[in-house]
A and B are shown apart, each in its own frame.
Chain A
Amino acid sequence: MRHALRVLPVVVAVVIAIGCSFAPSDDRTGVVGPDLGQFETAGVGDYLDHRCGSLDCHGQPTRNMVLWGCDGLRLDPDETGLVPGCDTTPTTTDEYEASYRSIVGLEPAVMTQVVENGGADPELLTFIRKARGWDAHKGGAIITPGDDQDVCLTSWLAGNADANACSQAQLESP
């Protein structure tokens, strides 16, 4: 009995060590997503926030593919006072990452397939089909294959986000 008590702390320490040694969540689920850095720096996230993330669309916390950013819903778990409006506080890195995960997490297996194939057949992804109006989409057909909005997304999926297209995509009339 005394021996068991002496060994117990070692067993507990080993169990804790094993518990903390699991792979990061992305490794665990095996998702291959498009580049997170490009999502922020090439303007993919800004385009999506502006054109899709308004508070009456994907900026609603109850919707599928929730998007966060300065043009819509803010992500502010620490209650620092973030409010909608890009003239007050630009989209934060946490918000870019949350929106990225929201998109990649929609169809992780399909996303992996598209990204691993260099962005081929992006229409396999529901969010592309919906944006093109090929699947039912309450917001209607937002993009047309080949326009700046489409190029912004498909170039990002292909691994080389077109920053110019993403910038134009925010300004052009749909």
Chain B
Amino acid sequence: MRVRSVFVALLALACADPVKNAEIAALGPEDPSVPRGELHRPGQPCLVCHDDFSVAGTIYHDDLSTAYDGATVTIVDSTGSQTTATTNSAGNFFVRKSDWQPTFPIGSFTTDAGSVTGVTVVGDDPSTSSLMLSQIGRDGSCASCHFGSGPSTASPGPVYVREASQ
């Protein structure tokens, strides 16, 4: 009985971050047609819940709504350390902290190893790539900044692969 009380108290404390709880609540419910897993909640800020991810996001075609399956995302941090991930059928990609942890900021810099670009996204046509020239200060969720269905004053809109015709 006593153990159970302690357990309940600990559970309550663990859920007592009102800011985080509000962020999670703001994401809304799961799509009932998509099981929980690596295909769920495309376009949402993954790291709000996934504390074990260092960087994660969703990539779209240039219509800004169709998921891009198979895009290659390369991320280089401020030390020149890099990682690569590939998007799944929902357009989602993620990098676990256990595999790579960036030293922020991620951006375009001149390092000892030469010039680096923070984020590069390449689709089926390797001659086309989308480069992120601005900086990520500390948030590994793409959708924290890339939100909404299109660009606005506070967001560049979804991350997309630049198609060959552009």
Contact = CB atoms under 8 A, between A and B. Distances in A.
B10 to A, nearest CB: 27
A120 interface: no
Interface residues of A, number: 29
Nearest to B154: A73
A54 interface: yes
- On chain B, which size bracket covers the interface? 20 to 34
A87 B109 CA distance: 17
Interface in A65-90: 71-76, 82-87
B48 to A, nearest CB: 13
B151 A83 contact: yes
Contact of A84 (B78, B109, B155): B155
Given A55-B154, A56-B138, 18 more contacts: A51-B135, A54-B105, A54-B134, A54-B135, A55-B144, A56-B136, A56-B144, A72-B134, A75-B153, A83-B155, A83-B156, A84-B153, A138-B138, A139-B137, A139-B138, A171-B110, A172-B110, A174-B105
Interface of B: 78-80, 104-105, 107-112, 116, 133-139, 144-145, 151-157
